[in-house]
Amino acid sequence: MDRNAIMERVRAQMPERRWAHTAGVMETAVRLAERYGADPAKAELAAILHDVAKYWKIEDQKRALIESGEAGDLLEYDPQLWHAHVGAHVARRDYGIEDPEVLDAIRWHTSGRVGMTLLDKVVCLADYMEPGRDFPGVDRIREEAGRSLDRALVLGFDSTISFLLANGRLIYPLTVMARNDLIRLLD
Ligand code: DGI
Ligand code: FE
Ligand code: FE
Ligand code: FE
């Protein structure tokens, strides 16, 4: 399937506003890839597919997550986390994406992970700061993104963790570990 066919099929799976978000992530991911030396084509492909499963029914996401054999401890945490893993599974199964770097960038775009690759970071940060995003602190993340990929991503995870804390929600431990891992990389 070529790039345009993938885009059309992904677009058909989501409301128009989520497609606008996806287009914003594509553009931002390409720009960050160019700035930080990741592969722009891989960044764009991961961006196109990153939220492909976001609007699936939760039961369908759960089934696909179990089918993938990689559910791990995710089923014990917020179902909002699931679409990333389901997206990687679907990208391979239904879109024929085989590149493990692209699949990993999709898989880890929400939670983050310890030892994030450059491509993981680019896609995850693009998801936080694409032009359509508007949450407290997003402008600081955009500013920092021009200087340090790692620092900008720490600010992103901090905003998610703060939001979860303020709302009394569960925090997926891997997000905290991803954030700590990035802090250790800062000079
Ligand atoms: O899919 P998007 O809306 O573009 O963004 P995303 O994939 O980063 O999803 C983030 C959502 O997941 C956000 O609403 C917060 C929720 N969430 C729930 N628990 C956690 C979590 N996100 C992270 N990173 N860690 C959690 O523990
Ligand atoms: Fe997402
Ligand atoms: Fe995110
Ligand atoms: Fe997204």
State the CB neighbour count (10 A cutoff) for residue 186.
9
- For residue 175 and ligand 1, the question of a CB distance below 6 A is answered with yes
Residue of the nearest CA to atom 4 in ligand 1? 127
- For residue 158 and ligand 1, the question of a CB distance below 6 A is answered with no
Q: Are 50 and 124 in contact (CB under 8 A)?
A: no
What pLDDT shows up at residue 53?
Answer: 97
Separation of alpha carbons 110 and 30, rounded Å: 18
- For residue 20 and ligand 1, the question of a CB distance below 6 A is answered with no
What pLDDT shows up at residue 133?
Answer: 98
Averages of pLDDT over runs of 10 residues in the chain (187 residues) are: 96 95 98 98 98 97 94 96 98 97 98 98 98 97 98 98 98 98 92
Query: Is the pTM here over 0.80, yes or no?
Result: yes
Residue with tokens 């990689």: 70
Best residue for ligand 1 mutational test, from 73, 111, 128, 160 (most atoms within 8 Å of Cβ):
160
Structural domains in the chain, CATH included, are: 3-185 (1.10.3210.10)
The ligand 1 atom nearest the CA atom of 124:
8
CB atoms within 5 A of ion ligand 2 belong to: 51
Query: Cα of 32 to ligand 3 centre, how many Å?
Result: 15
Residues 6+ apart with CB under 8 A from 158: 179
What pLDDT shows up at residue 33?
Answer: 98
Torsion of CA 22, 48, 106, 1, to 10 degrees: 160
Query: Cα of 58 to ligand 4 centre, how many Å?
Result: 17
What pLDDT shows up at residue 70?
Answer: 87
What pLDDT shows up at residue 9?
Answer: 97
**Do you know the residue count of the chain?**
187
Separation of alpha carbons 32 and 172, rounded Å: 26
